[in-house]
């Protein structure tokens, strides 16, 4: 994540999915952080305007910035993107609110649902998702936006602290299918204070420990 403000230079970006991208301009400082790997996400928080800017596949081509898609959200609103629109996440959702952040773990609680990816999804989406990214129609596959919750009966006392805090959030708030990727991959903001040894114990949790949540009652 890169924090920006009113003084940050704003840039027009050429989008591959222009019809489903917010035109901007986007605040891009010289030190903008771009995720490694093929997705090359960039997440920018404008503290002055209270807005979130997210970009997918961001890169320089010659003297201009190019990206796959881009989305802008007001952090003062719960408004979603138009139905059928993608975002830098395939489900059309913002990435930042679903990240596990070490600052929350340090305080002992994660008070929100987490973003999760799965290898295969269905050609469908459910609220709060706005977009699908699959041609498969197998009803056993999850749609984008599906919320899953760790069963209350699942024992977590034996897990190390960092993993236990993540598991408690999965019991209280669950996780939302947001993109295609590695199966059951929870996304977190990079921080050197994370313990990979502790987080790898999450692999012990079987898929049968989760239940699907009917989110209809959460819809405004």
* Contact status, residue 75 vs residue 51, Cβ threshold 8 Å: yes
For residue 217, the model assigns a pLDDT of 80
Taking the domains of the chain in order of start, what are their residue ranges?
A: 2-79, 97-218
Question: Tens digit of pLDDT for each residue in 51-72?
Answer: 999 999 999 999 999 999 999 9
Kind plus residue range of the DSSP H or E element containing 172 = helix 161-172
Position with higher pLDDT, 164 vs 215: 164
Q: Given pLDDT bands bounded at 50, 70 and 90, which one contains residue 215?
A: confident
For residue 17, the model assigns a pLDDT of 94
- Output the six-digit token pair for 26: 């986007």
For residue 54, the model assigns a pLDDT of 98
CA pair distance 78, 157, nearest whole angstrom:
34
Question: Tens digit of pLDDT for each residue in 156-207?
Answer: 999 999 999 999 999 999 999 999 999 999 999 999 999 999 999 999 999 9
* Contact status, residue 54 vs residue 22, Cβ threshold 8 Å: no
DSSP state of 99: -
Entry pTM: 0.92
Predicted confidence (pLDDT) at residue 37 exceeds the cutoff of 90: no
Predicted confidence (pLDDT) at residue 220 exceeds the cutoff of 80: no
């Amino acid at each position: 994540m890169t924090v920006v403000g009113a003084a940050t230079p704003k840039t027009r970006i050429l989008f591959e999915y222009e019809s489903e991208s917010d035109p901007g301009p986007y605040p891009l400082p010289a030190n903008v952080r771009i995720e490694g790997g093929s997705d090359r996400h960039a997440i920018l928080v404008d503290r002055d305007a209270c807005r979130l800017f997210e970009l997918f596949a961001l890169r320089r081509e010659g003297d201009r910035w190019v990206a796959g898609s881009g989305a802008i959200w007001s952090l003062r609103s719960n408004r979603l993107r138009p139905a059928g629109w993608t975002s830098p996440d395939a489900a059309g959702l913002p990435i930042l609110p679903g990240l596990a952040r070490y600052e929350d773990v340090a305080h002992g609680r994660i008070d929100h649902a987490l973003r999760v990816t799965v290898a295969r999804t269905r050609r469908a989406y459910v609220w709060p998702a706005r977009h699908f990214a699959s041609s498969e129609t197998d009803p056993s596959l999850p749609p984008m936006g599906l919320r899953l919750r760790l069963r209350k009966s699942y024992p977590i006392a034996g897990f190390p602290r960092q993993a236990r805090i993540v598991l408690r959030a999965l019991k209280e708030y669950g996780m939302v299918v947001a993109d295609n990727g590695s199966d059951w991959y929870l996304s977190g903001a990079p921080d050197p204070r994370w313990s990979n040894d502790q987080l790898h114990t999450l692999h012990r949790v079987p898929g049968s420990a989760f239940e699907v949540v009917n989110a209809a009652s959460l819809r405004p």
